[in-house]
Amino acid sequence: MTSDESGERTGAGLAGVDPALRRELEALIEARVEAAVEARLGSALEAKIAGEADAQLVARVHALEGLIGDARARLEAVEAKGELERVSILVFSGDMDRLISAFIIATGAIAMGCEVSMYFTFWGLTGIKKKTVYADKSLPERMLAAMLPGGASSLGTSRMNMMGMGPALFRSLMRKHNVESLPDLIGLAREMGVKMVACQMAMGVMGIRREELIDDLEYGGVVTYLGDAIDSKVTLFI
C-alpha cells in the first residue's frame, strides 16, 4: 500500500497522508488539471475562430473583387458610350415650322460630332411621307389619307397657316434668308447620317403604309426610342 504504488494514483498514494496536506495537494492537482484543460480548449477554440475568420475574410474579398470587376466593366461601358455623344429627337408634330426646327437641330448636332436619331410618330409621320396610297385601306384610313398632307413639301405651319398661305410665305422668306427648305433639310440629314425611325404603332393607327414613307427608314416602337433616349445627352420632343 506504500512504495510500489505509482505516485500518480493520487487517491491511493495519498491515503496515508495527513488529511490537511492531502486536501491541499488535491486542490493543487485540480487547479493544474483545470489549467491544462482550459489551455487546450482555449487554443482549440482560438484556432477554430481564426479559421472561420479567415474563411469569412476570403469570402468577402472574393465578393469585393467581384463588385470591383463589375464596376470596372460598367465604367468601361459608360466611357465607351461617352466617346460618342448622342442626341435623340421625338418628332410628334407635323407642322412645317416645328419640323424645320427638328431637322436644323439634328443636322447641327451631327456637325457638333454627335450621333443623332429621330423618331417620327403621329403627325410627325406626315413629314417623312413621299406619297399617298389609297389602295387596300379601310374607309376611315382612306379618309385620313385624303386629309393628311402628302409629304414634307405640303405641310402647314403651327401658327398663321391661313389655308396654306402661311407656309408659302414662310418658304419665300426662308429662301430669301438662305435657309434650306424642309425637303432639303431632310435630304441633308439623311446624307449626314441621321438615323430616322418611323413609329409602327402610329403607322398602324393612322393606316400609313411603308410604301408611303421615304426609303431607307428604320421601323420601331417606344422601346426603340427609349433605348436611344436613355443613352442620349440631349433628347427633345417636338
Partner 1 sequence: MPIVRLSQAMRKLTAGDVITILADDPAFRADLEAWVRRFGHTVDSFENPEGRLQRAVVTKNS
How far apart, in whole angstroms, are the C-alpha atoms of residue 191 and residue 216? Answer: 12
Residue 84 is a binding residue for partner 1 (CB under 8 A): no
Stretch near partner 1 under the rule CB under 8 A, chosen from 49-57, 65-73, 105-113, 198-206: 105-113
- 223 near partner 1 (CB under 8 A): no
CA atoms of 128 and 153, how far apart (whole Å): 10
| Footprint on residues 178-217 left by partner 1 (CB under 8 A) | 178-180, 188, 192
Selected binder of partner 1 within 1, 20, 80, 111 (CB under 8 A) = 111
Residue 94 in contact with residue 126, Cβ under 8 Å?
yes
Min dist. Cβ of residue 82 to partner 1 (A)? 14
157 binds partner 1 (CB under 8 A): no
- Cβ atoms of 27 and 42 within 8 Å: the answer is no
State which residue, 194 or 203, has the beta carbon closest to partner 1: 194
Residues forming beta bridges with residue 120, ordered by sequence position: 91, 198
Residue 135 gets the label, from left (phi > 0), alpha (psi -120 to 50) or beta, of beta
Among 108, 140, 164, 227, binds partner 1 (CB under 8 A): 108
Strand, helix or coil for residue 119: strand
Rg (CA), the chain: 43
Q: Considering the rule CB under 8 A, would residue 176 count as an interface residue with partner 1? A: no
Among 88, 93, 107, 117, binds partner 1 (CB under 8 A): 107
Q: Does the footprint of partner 1 cover residue 174 (CB under 8 A)?
A: no
Applying CB under 8 A, among 7, 11, 16, 113 the residue interacting with partner 1 is 113
Contact 164, 95 (CB under 8 A): no
Q: Which is nearer to partner 1, 61 or 112 (CB)?
A: 112
In sign, the C-alpha dihedral spanning 170, 176, 177, 178 is positive
**Which positions touch partner 1 (CB under 8 A)?**
104, 107-108, 110-113, 178-180, 188, 192
